[in-house]
Amino acid sequence: MEQLGVLQRNDASTQGKYSVEVKHVSKSYGETEIYTDLHFQLLKGTFVALVGPIGSGKTTMLNMFAGLEKPTSGTILVMGKDITKMSEDSLGEFRAGTIGLVPQVQTLIPELTVRENVELPLHFAKVDDKSRERKVDYVLEKVGIRGESKRVASTLSVGEKQMVSFARAMVNDPPILLLDEPTESLDPLIAEVILGLLRGDNLTLGRTIFVTTHDRRVTELARKTLRVKKKIP
């Protein structure tokens, strides 16, 4: 089993400094153990990359941070809240306001337009109409896809979909941004746009960014790199 590493030791004097606290977390699928007794914290505003072979559980960890998968044991605090004890409905509301997720697999709703896809998280977070419009306009502009806002998602290229996913993750100004292989399978031009956004203009600055990747350009941007060495059998 891999211990991913410790970013910061537990210290009562630093309460509130962490965006994610992983406390003695184990995760298994049936008999297959993925992680055993993980214990580390992510400081607020830090940029951490998680690297490792395909199938080593990187996405599992990201999903646990997002509350999409529960650990087998242990607790995960996100912005001080224990997400392992939340009900599904509470978790949904918490996720809408706290976490921006850019998954590896495209998760846009194909029937909706770019704009409608991007504004969905704001509906779940119960943001009022005026603020919603302003936030969507802002993020579409920053990501550079405002001109595509009326296009239906099913007509977009892979790269365009990734940019829309990024805009959707950022639209509610979440303190935590989780990205799963954000530059995978993208043409160099689009990958460069994503890297530019991660490089830290005022769209991503000050957020905790946790990214799984194989791309050295992404790890070079990160302040800390965690490695999972072993592939799960």
Partner 1 sequence: MSRGVSLQEGQLLARSLNVSKSTHLVVASLAAAVAANAAAAIQLTGFAGQIALLALIFVTVAAGTSAISSDIFARSGQTIANLRSIGASSRSLSNAVFFSVIGYGVAGSALGGGVGAALGMALGGQGGAFSALFAVFGVILASSAAAAAGVYAGGRRNWSS
Nearer to partner 1, 40 or 95 (CB): 95
Q: Which residue in the block uniquely carries the two structure tokens 């990201």? A: 62
* 116 lies in the site for partner 1, by CB under 8 A: yes
In a 10 Å sphere around its CB, with 0-12 CB exposed, 13-18 middle and 19+ buried, how is residue 8 labelled? Answer: middle
In a 10 Å sphere around its CB, with 0-12 CB exposed, 13-18 middle and 19+ buried, how is residue 72 labelled? Answer: middle
Nearer to partner 1, 111 or 220 (CB): 111
Q: Which residue in the block uniquely carries the two structure tokens 């194909």? A: 110
* 109 lies in the site for partner 1, by CB under 8 A: yes
Choosing from 108, 176, 198, 228, the residue that interacts with partner 1 (CB under 8 A) is: 108
Q: Which of 184, 224, 225, 222 has its CA nearest to residue 204?
A: 222
- Cα–Cα distance measured from residue 184 to residue 172, given in angstroms and rounded to the nearest whole number: 24
Tell the smallest beta-carbon distance from residue 73 to partner 1 (Å).
17
Number of amino acids touching partner 1 (CB under 8 A): 30
* 137 lies in the site for partner 1, by CB under 8 A: no
- Cα–Cα distance measured from residue 199 to residue 221, given in angstroms and rounded to the nearest whole number: 7
Binding mask 62-101 for partner 1 (x = CB under 8 A): ----x-x-x-----------------xxxxxx-xxx---x
Where does this chain bind partner 1 (CB under 8 A)? 66, 68, 70, 88-93, 95-97, 101, 103, 107-109, 111-112, 116, 119-121, 123-126, 129, 168-169
